[in-house]
């Protein structure tokens, strides 16, 4: 399959992220499909990335009839312990 354009933006954002830092990303809802997963999600996990929260099908607020995915990524191991 083909990768969605948002997959490349997600991977690029991860590449610029410092170890221990996080970011949130709103993507098209096809981000988890085979092509996009191979382009960005699998490389992120293979390079010490953690997808610690994901919402696959979220309704865009407002009048637009759009379904998006919301991802939260950390470069490093996710820990729920408080400092």
Say if residues 46 and 73 touch (Cβ distance below 8 Å): no
pLDDT tens string 3-50? 889 999 999 999 999 999 999 999 988 888 878 888 899 999 999 999
Q: Which ranges constitute the DSSP H helices of the chain?
A: 5-16, 34-36, 42-46
Question: Which of 33-37, 38-42, 62-66, 77-81 is predicted least confidently?
Answer: 77-81
Residue whose C-alpha is closest to residue 25's, from 6, 39, 43 = 6
pTM of the model: 0.83
């Amino acid at each position: 399959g083909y990768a969605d354009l948002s997959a490349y933006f997600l991977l690029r954002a991860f590449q610029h992220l410092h170890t221990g830092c996080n970011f949130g990303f709103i993507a098209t809802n096809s981000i988890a499909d085979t092509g996009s997963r191979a382009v960005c999600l699998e490389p992120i996990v293979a390079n010490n990335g953690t997808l610690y929260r994901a919402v696959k099908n979220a309704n865009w607020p407002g009048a637009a009839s759009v379904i998006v995915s919301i991802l939260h990524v950390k470069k490093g191991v996710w820990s729920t312990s408080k400092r």
